[in-house]
């Protein structure tokens, strides 16, 4: 992904209409029943720990936005078949596997408001079940029989892993730039959004123009979604987020609110950030100071403004398709990604 850090005038829904995910949920409800049936079937194993651990996360109340993108894209291009159900399940397995691995790497204690799988089942089992889900995803891809689909989803899986490693190497690096951070989240988050959206056009045998439009929609939506996650870590409490507030801060992650606050801070404030990101200041009082500085320089709002820019690009990407229920639902999902508080 080529980083673009110049904000454009954002497009927003009317001020009196708070965007929701409801149109997307309604659009994909029937299809998601089929996807969920595939997920339930393919997470089973003769080893009881596997479905127990996988089910702990899969049934944990996630938005399932990535598989919904595959279904919504299929509606947008008028696809009438059923191949996309299994592929959407593969997308969700890839996502779930990365979450399990992430929680081990980060030492997370909460995921979606519940104890993280690694806390309950231990790190080794969590990593191995993540591997199992990756394997199930690749089974579903190969069963589909399309080399193009396999290339898109397997390529995204590799890019996600690269993004996670890139984020790890940027951890506790105070000089991480906005451009590099956008490249990291373009890989670790947006790549799967992009792939999940594009494969809809592939199974429908659309042209390159339609494929690219859906990929651009998913990629920009994914960046917007991750930027808002970054903002939420400094703007919401654990009950709303489903994870501990300040996780990013204590892990020394250079997310966009920190990058903005550090760039705009005084010399003394920069010294605080240098010590905090290095891991020398991580108490509750230090977190409170970090939140204060981020508020002082409107870094959360600046991050959300960047997210609005990418959401507007997502909406623009699908403007090539006829207006209708699917396009409207996908546009509102982009606005919801920015406006949400959880």
pLDDT in tens, 66-92: 999 999 999 999 999 999 999 999 999
C-alpha to C-alpha distance for 129 and 67, rounded to whole angstroms: 20
Select from 92, 93, 118 the least CA-distant residue to 105: 118
N- to C-terminal Cα separation, the chain: 26
Select from 27, 52, 55 the least CA-distant residue to 39: 55
Residues in Cβ contact with 90 at an 8 Å cutoff, skipping those fewer than 6 apart: 136, 137, 138, 140, 141, 153
- pLDDT score, position 15: 47
Angle between helices 256-264 and 208-232 (to 10 degrees): 60
Q: Are 127 and 186 within 8 A, CB to CB?
A: no
pLDDT in tens, 204-234: 999 999 999 999 999 999 999 999 999 998 8
Name the band, by pLDDT with cuts 50, 70 and 90, for residue 9. very low
At 138, phi and psi to the nearest 5? -70, -30
pLDDT exceeds 90 at position 243: no
When pLDDT is averaged across residues 149-165 and rounded to a whole number, the result is: 96
Lowest mean pLDDT among 219-223, 245-249, 316-320: 245-249
Q: Is 247 helix (H, G, I), strand (E, B) or coil?
A: helix
% residues pLDDT > 70 (the chain)? 92
Under CATH, domain 22-339 is a member of which superfamily? Farnesyl Diphosphate Synthase (1.10.600.10)
Of residues 183 and 242, more confidently modeled: 183
Q: Is 303 helix (H, G, I), strand (E, B) or coil?
A: helix
Angle between helices 123-144 and 83-106 (to 10 degrees): 160
What is the value of pTM for the model shown?
A: 0.91
Alpha helical stretches, state H, the chain? 22-42, 49-58, 65-76, 83-106, 117-121, 123-144, 147-170, 178-188, 190-203, 208-232, 238-241, 247-250, 256-264, 267-277, 284-296, 299-317, 325-339
Q: In the structure encoding, which two tokens stand for residue 123, read together?
A: 């790190």
pLDDT in tens, 265-280: 999 999 999 999 999 9
Select from 295, 337, 66, 310 the least CA-distant residue to 178: 310
C-alpha to C-alpha distance for 173 and 31, rounded to whole angstroms: 43
Residue 186 φ/ψ region, left for φ over 0, alpha for ψ in the -120 to 50 degree band, beta for the rest: alpha
């Amino acid at each position: 992904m080529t980083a673009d850090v110049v904000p454009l005038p954002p497009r927003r829904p009317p001020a009196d209409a708070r965007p929701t995910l409801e149109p997307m949920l309604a659009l994909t409800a029937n299809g998601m029943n089929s996807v969920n049936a595939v997920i339930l079937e393919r997470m089973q194993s003769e080893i009881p720990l596997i479905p127990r651990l996988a089910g702990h996360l899969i049934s944990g109340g996630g938005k399932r936005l990535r598989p919904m993108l595959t279904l919504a894209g299929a509606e947008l291009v008028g696809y009438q078949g059923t191949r996309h159900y299994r592929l959407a399940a593969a997308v969700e397995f890839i996502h779930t596997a990365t979450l399990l691995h992430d929680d081990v790497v980060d030492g997370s204690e909460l995921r979606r408001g519940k104890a993280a799988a690694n806390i309950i089942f231990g790190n080794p089992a969590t990593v191995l079940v993540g591997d199992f889900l990756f394997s199930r995803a690749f089974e579903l891809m190969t069963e589909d029989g399309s080399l193009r689909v396999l290339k898109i989803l397997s390529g995204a899986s590799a890019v996600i892993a690269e993004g996670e490693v890139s984020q790890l190497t940027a951890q506790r690096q105070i000089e991480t730039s906005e451009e590099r951070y956008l490249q990291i989240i373009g890989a670790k988050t947006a790549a799967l959004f992009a792939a999940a959206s594009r494969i809809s056009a592939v199974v429908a045998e659309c042209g390159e123009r339609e494929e690219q439009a859906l990929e651009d929609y998913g990629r920009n939506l994914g960046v917007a979604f991750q930027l808002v996650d970054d903002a939420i870590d400094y703007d919401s409490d654990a009950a709303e987020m489903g994870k501990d507030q300040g996780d990013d801060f204590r892990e020394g992650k250079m997310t966009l609110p920190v990058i903005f606050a550090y760039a705009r801070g005084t010399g003394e404030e920069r010294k605080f950030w240098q010590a905090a990101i290095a891991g020398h200041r991580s108490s509750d009082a230090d977190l409170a100071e970090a939140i204060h500085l981020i508020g002082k320089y409107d870094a959360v709002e600046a991050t959300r403004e960047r997210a609005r820019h990418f959401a507007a690009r997502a909406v623009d990407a699908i403007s090539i398709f006829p207006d209708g229920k699917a396009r409207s639902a996908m546009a509102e999902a982009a606005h919801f990604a920015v406006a949400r508080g959880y």
